[in-house]
Amino acid sequence: MIVLEVVVPIPINKAFYYLPLNNINSEDIIRKRVKVPFGKKILTAYAISYRNIKSSNTLKLKHIIEIIDKNNLITDEAIELSKYISKNYVCSLGEALSSIIPTSMKPSKRIFKNKNIEKKVEDKKYTLNKQQNDAINLINENLNKNVYSSFLIHGVTASGKTEVYINAIEYALKQNKSTIMLIPDISLTTQFSNVMIARFNENVGIWHSGISNNEKYGLFLKAINGDIKIIIGARSAVFAPFKNLGLIIIDEEHEHTYKQEQKPSYDTREIAKWRGKYQNAIVILGSATPSLESYKDAMDKNVNLIELNKRIDNKELPEVKVLTLKNRIFKTSSFLPETIKAISTVLARKEQIIVFLNRRGYSTSIVCKKCNSVYQCPRCSISMVFHRNPDSLKCHYCGKMKYLPVSCPLCKGKNVTFFGSGTQKVEDELKKLFKYAKIFRLDGDTASSKKNYERAYNGIKSEEYDILIGTQMIAKGFDFPKVSLVCVIDADISLYIPDFKSIEKTFQLITQVSGRTGRGNTRGNVIVQTNHPHHYAIEYAKKHDFKSFYKIEIEQRKRLSYPPFCYIAKVSIRGKKCRKVDEDSEKLFFFLKDLVAKYKLELEILGPVSAYIAKLNYIYKKHIIIKGSKNNILKLAEFLGNFKQSVGSFIGIEVMPSDLI
């Protein structure tokens, strides 16, 4: 009797057997997604193979309900990659396959055209400098060899990394090879797709969370069939099913968005390298501020380093002025007098300004003057943020909203004070200071749709707006020639986060947002407002000196034994009952310690500690941190399934998380 071997995207790492539909050959079902009855539910699953077993063993087996796909979507590479993800990121084979071939994709009879391709975009040709030409020649030389190799392009902002990528893609196309181009944020889609479509036209597909499940299915088939050769997209585009892959490019490779936080918690950079090895392709990582891990790989000769240390046309890097907030006269204002004067001067010259503050809303906390209590989210252990228009309180973590209370919930006092500035308050202040300036704010509140991203990008590009205010989504990738001033309102926000990467992220953010200016004919200027003007992250960002920053920070990591000098894993214990989470986390800590001793694993177990936000949407969370070698961590993770937690508590593990908070 023939039965189908099916894997389901649930946390059980085993295959299940089902009977094929009547009168359908099993060979016509495998390598496709299918609908199966699973307990009381109907789930989308993956038919990976079939086998012959004794008919007496099939009495209790159920039939599959439906074959979703007409085409074979599950390639040999997808199966091998899912095994790699399952092993290295501690998840089931079904969960791994669901990240490679989403269950949500839907077949459609419609033929979807890439809407962007219908736009006429001017294709600008650039004269390459020696550093760019050397980089392209080296990459193309390796493309000719048809063997895997990886590169880190460390190029200062506006050094022409994109043009290097484009020339490498052109060369790959001549060899009939496909390219995956990854960008860290949906906000950059418009800019990159315009550039790529201008050069490569109908060969380009765009993949991100903003396109429909039908469109994703159409793109998936086009990639498998070779109807398109280039896919641009965010993290999950790394799984584009090209059969003759030549290049995988990861722009702004340092960005934390390349790490999937939900299970399976894969690292896009590692997936890219795996695929590069499998298909003998070239992997290119690019950044002005590489992650410490990637740069150390380059220093250790595990990755080929390419340096672009000059801006195109020998334009000067912006001049950065650091101003201290400690001596400010007007405590309620977001801006120092010198910053206001600089903005006024730039507006008078008919040039543009970017104002960066990595905090949305109006005020970050509201305090009752009578009892000093902070207005907190009832669902989360975090203060609610005050928003204008309409006046309301909002939790930026669970989304809870409520009107501003007339009186304090605790003491009924009616006098409150507001602390901290958000992008709304900054916008409000700028409108009062510069009444005739045209201002656009781009943050998590205004960027709810792709249209607002495009509106911001096109509005600044066409000089419709004078000032762009935003959070970290405006700190990377944007190329606006008329922007001659960048103002960083509070450079210290990320410094205060209790995480081993907080200093690195501070340096990266300041450097990246500074790089948005001085791309035209005028040298750019940057003003950084901070309480810590002498912190080395800020001092070296001011000097555009990544290498000096790297030397200090890598020594700190080595001394404290953090990545890249060890592997880490974050074990999370979560549940609705605080007491149970506390008890389970203590029990799990000693359970892991005993296993380390029993199997003589050289691992350090730290914790348990409450998460940075200890309660999120009524769920309490604690963490246990494991430090050591990759193999020992993965071996220890195998035993997590043996731990018996309380009813209602859940255990999860994330290998090499982007943070420990």
Sign of CA dihedral 382, 387, 393, 398: negative
The count of domains in the chain is: 4
Between 54 and 649, the more confident residue is: 649
**Are residues 526 and 424 part of one domain?**
yes
What is the distance between the alpha carbons of residues 188 and 381, in angstroms, rounded to a whole number? Answer: 33
Between 473 and 246, the more confident residue is: 246
**In the prediction, which pLDDT does 56 show?**
66
**In the prediction, which pLDDT does 97 show?**
98
Closest CA to 386 of 409, 414, 353, 416: 416
**Are residues 52 and 6 part of one domain?**
yes
pLDDT (tens digit per residue) in 382-418? 999 999 888 899 999 999 999 888 888 888 888 888 8
**Are residues 552 and 626 part of one domain?**
no
Is residue 491 scored above 70 in pLDDT? yes
Is residue 536 scored above 50 in pLDDT? yes
Is residue 79 scored above 80 in pLDDT? yes
**Are residues 476 and 612 part of one domain?**
no
Taking residues 636-659, what's their average pLDDT? 94
Domain contains 414: no
pLDDT (tens digit per residue) in 265-324? 999 999 999 999 999 999 999 999 999 999 999 999 999 999 999 999 899 999 999 999
What is the distance between the alpha carbons of residues 496 and 365, in angstroms, rounded to a whole number? Answer: 16
Is residue 82 scored above 90 in pLDDT? yes
What is the distance between the alpha carbons of residues 461 and 480, in angstroms, rounded to a whole number? Answer: 6
Between 539 and 455, the more confident residue is: 539
pLDDT (tens digit per residue) in 122-142? 566 678 999 999 999 999 999
**Are residues 320 and 308 part of one domain?**
no
Q: What is the 3 state secondary structure string of 564-629?
A: CCCEEEEEEEEECCHHHHHHHHHHHHHHHHHHHHHCCCCEEEEEEEEEEEEEECCEEEEEEEEEEC
CATH classification at residue 639 = 3.30.70.600
**In the prediction, which pLDDT does 120 show?**
47
**Are residues 307 and 319 part of one domain?**
no
**In the prediction, which pLDDT does 58 show?**
65
**In the prediction, which pLDDT does 121 show?**
52
Domain boundary among 252, 287, 313: 313
**Are residues 611 and 521 part of one domain?**
no
Taking residues 188-193, what's their average pLDDT? 80
End-to-end CA distance of the chain: 52
Domain contains 272: yes
**In the prediction, which pLDDT does 418 show?**
84
CATH classification at residue 357 = 3.40.50.300
Least confident of 83-92, 191-200, 618-627: 191-200
Taking residues 94-120, what's their average pLDDT? 76
**Are residues 148 and 161 part of one domain?**
yes
Domain contains 523: yes
Is residue 495 scored above 70 in pLDDT? yes
What is the distance between the alpha carbons of residues 300 and 294, in angstroms, rounded to a whole number? Answer: 10
**In the prediction, which pLDDT does 330 show?**
67
| Mean per-residue pLDDT over the chain, rounded | 92
Please check whether residue 307 is in contact with residue 131, taking contact to mean a CB–CB distance below 8 angstroms.
yes
What is the distance between the alpha carbons of residues 187 and 175, in angstroms, rounded to a whole number? Answer: 31
Taking residues 416-422, what's their average pLDDT? 86
- The pairing of beta strand 66-67 with beta strand 32-38: antiparallel
Domain boundary among 254, 286, 313: 313
Taking residues 147-164, what's their average pLDDT? 96
**In the prediction, which pLDDT does 118 show?**
44
What is the distance between the alpha carbons of residues 393 and 361, in angstroms, rounded to a whole number? Answer: 9
Is residue 513 scored above 50 in pLDDT? yes
Is residue 339 scored above 80 in pLDDT? yes
pLDDT (tens digit per residue) in 226-255? 999 999 999 999 999 999 999 999 999 999
Give the position of tokens 């009381």: 40
What is the distance between the alpha carbons of residues 297 and 283, in angstroms, rounded to a whole number? Answer: 14
Of the CA atoms within 13 Å of residue 650, those in its CB half-sphere come to 9
**In the prediction, which pLDDT does 110 show?**
67
Domain contains 388: no
**Are residues 468 and 326 part of one domain?**
yes
Taking residues 196-218, what's their average pLDDT? 89
Domain boundary among 77, 100, 123: 100
Domain contains 607: yes
pTM exceeds cut of 0.85: yes
Tokens of 424: 């709304």
**Are residues 583 and 464 part of one domain?**
no
Is residue 183 scored above 70 in pLDDT? yes
**Are residues 440 and 348 part of one domain?**
yes
**Are residues 96 and 128 part of one domain?**
no
Domain that holds residue 489: 315-363+420-556
Tokens of 232: 């641009």
Is residue 23 scored above 80 in pLDDT? yes
Closest CA to 254 of 298, 287, 297, 299: 287
pLDDT (tens digit per residue) in 610-635? 999 999 999 999 999 999 999 999 99
CA angle 19–20–22, rounded 5-degree value? 115
Is residue 112 scored above 70 in pLDDT? no
Is residue 117 scored above 50 in pLDDT? no
Domain contains 221: yes
CATH classification at residue 73 = 3.40.1440.60
Domain contains 374: no
Least confident of 152-156, 301-305, 448-452, 530-534: 448-452
Domain contains 293: yes
